[in-house]
Structure 1
Amino acid sequence: MIELKSPAEIARMHVTGRFVAEVLTEVGRLADVGVNLMDLEHHVRGMIEDRGAESCYWDYAPSFGKGPFRNVICLSVNDAVLHGLPHDYVLRDGDVLTADIAVGIDGWVADSARTVVVGTPAEEDLRIIRATEEALEAAIAVARPGNRLGDLSAAIYQVARSYGYPVNTEFGGHGIGRTMHEDPHVSNRGHAGRGMTLKPGLTLALEPWLARTTDKIVYDPDGWTIRSADGSRTAHSEHTVAITEDAPLVLTRRESENVAPVEQVSDAPAH
């Protein structure tokens, strides 16, 4: 069932979203050569506790995971892209790190993800990160009343295709509000003009993620971490967005975030 939120409820989600944005900003600041993933995990645990928030990940046990998730943030490195289980790994120069977090405050949830390069960036890594950011902004731009769910999916896919990246449809965006995962599912590939009509009060976590040369995935032995099947590097960008009577409201926008210029999408082939 899809639950439309009132303006007051969206405002409460926005409070959570601002905290999620703060956490991801802090993770991006701390992610550096020589930093252990578990140090980031424990730092975020402290932020959540200090804020009086509640992790949506701790003890989460969906059908696609292996047992309860016992961490508060997903940290995925290089060819890992989704549900990365924090572990004893020290970041190296040139690593690509994706951080994904969802928390609740006073019963209202927000979810967001970002990918950063640790140390010296390679152009091909910056390129795929930029592609996910532009795909996300393209979807946000059409998240308006009267448009269709397929318009969001088509916007994401169009950007990915313009960069030459394949798109996986097993995992995508989702509704969000009182819980982390609500209806509807938002595929990262679809057809414009199809699907449910978007209405004010609908809140969605939009999350394009890409691997450079494959749309196939594999799981680590930990039962959680999802990697590109061919070992190619990955990126993931996500925001929680509310559809309003006016412009879409991004509830997890980071203050220092550089909004990707959608109109400047590259049409060069992927490396």
Structure 2
Amino acid sequence: MIVLKTQTELETMKKACKISADALNVAEEWIKPNITTKEIDRKIHEYITKCGATPSFLNYMGYPASACISVNDVVIHGIPSDYHLQEGDIVSIDVGAYYQGFHGDNAYTFIVGDTSDETKALLKETQASLMKGIEQAVVGNRIGDISHAVETHVSQFGYGIVRQFVGHGVGKHLHEDPEVPNFGRPGRGPRLVEGMTIAIEPMINLKGDEVKVMSDGWTTKTVSGSMSAHFEHTIAITKNGPVILTVR
């Protein structure tokens, strides 16, 4: 069931989304060679709790950390560890905050120092596909219009689109209806109406669509071993067009 938010609820949700977005800024300050992903997670946890919020992911279905920190060929759900970031790595930070009854959810893929032009292009076009999807998030369109916009943009570069994991509704629960795939046919799926809040999150691989979940039950890697990029915003569907709630 798709849950619509009132204007009052949206104002409250904006606060949760701001904390989530600002947590990415905190993470960015600490992303550098030799820092561990566990240290970054700790900084994120400290910031979210300092804001009077709760990390949305911590203990969610048993997840053991406050953020998903995914390096290089890890697509999503990377568990923070003692791994030291290295020059040329890319690191996706996916973080949520629960505040006053609502969740905010967003992700960004950062470069550690400098990296290859091929990888930079992957990040650039994945982020561009997110914005293409958001452009279609208008009253009267359907979920498939968002999905198709993402797919159309990244397909021209030959990138792989992760199909096992998708975007989702977000609000009082971290994951709500509807699902928001990064592939699909325009004019299909639930119709977009005012008051919907959804997380659009392209997960795009340099090579191949296929991914595999590792033995820890969380860490998800590309089967090809290639780099993977992940960008995500929580947005609201309004009569005046899409509003990004997780603006950094």
Q: TM-score, normalised by structure 2?
A: 0.98
> Residue 16 of structure 2 corresponds to which residue in structure 1?
16
Q: Deviation digits for residues 91-138 of structure 1, max 9, x if unmatched? A: 000001000011110111110000011012211111111111111000
> Residue 6 of structure 2 corresponds to which residue in structure 1?
6
Q: Deviation digits for residues 20-68 of structure 1, max 9, x if unmatched? A: 111101111210011111111111111122111012211111xxxxxx1
8 Å Cα contact 1:117-1:125 kept in structure 2:
no
Which of 189, 200, 220 is the aligned partner of 2:194?
Answer: 200
CA distance in 2, matches of 1:28, 1:42: 13
> Residue 186 of structure 1 corresponds to which residue in structure 2?
180
CA distance in 2, matches of 1:129, 1:108: 29
> Residue 223 of structure 2 corresponds to which residue in structure 1?
229
CA distance in 2, matches of 1:153, 1:11: 27
8 Å Cα contact 1:85-1:222 kept in structure 2:
no
Give structure 2 stretches of 5+ with no counterpart: none
Which of 105, 108, 112 is the aligned partner of 1:114?
Answer: 108
Per the TM alignment, residue 184 of structure 1 is displaced from its structure 2 partner at its CA by 0.5
Which of 72, 76, 85 is the aligned partner of 1:91?
Answer: 85
> Residue 214 of structure 1 corresponds to which residue in structure 2?
208
How many residues are treated as equivalent by the alignment?
A: 248
> Residue 126 of structure 2 corresponds to which residue in structure 1?
132
> Residue 63 of structure 2 corresponds to which residue in structure 1?
69
Give structure 1 stretches of 5+ with no counterpart: 62-67, 255-271
> Residue 164 of structure 1 corresponds to which residue in structure 2?
158
Q: Which has the higher strand share?
A: 2
**Which letter does structure 2 place at the counterpart of 1:9?**
E
CA distance in 1, matches of 2:243, 2:108: 18
CA distance in 1, matches of 2:110, 2:49: 25
Per the TM alignment, residue 11 of structure 1 is displaced from its structure 2 partner at its CA by 1.2
Q: TM-score, normalised by structure 1?
A: 0.90
CA distance in 2, matches of 1:197, 1:49: 36
Per the TM alignment, residue 86 of structure 1 is displaced from its structure 2 partner at its CA by 0.5
Q: Say if 2:29 is the partner of 1:29.
A: yes
CA distance in 1, matches of 2:7, 2:134: 18
8 Å Cα contact 2:202-2:231 kept in structure 1:
yes
8 Å Cα contact 1:171-1:187 kept in structure 2:
yes
**Which letter does structure 1 place at the counterpart of 2:212?**
V
Residue 9 of structure 2 aligns to a residue whose secondary structure is: helix
Q: Say if 2:132 is the partner of 1:149.
A: no
Q: Deviation digits for residues 209-235 of structure 1, max 9, x if unmatched? A: 111111111122222110000100010
- Superposed CA RMSD in Å reads 0.9
Q: Percent identity?
A: 35
8 Å Cα contact 2:26-2:43 kept in structure 1:
no
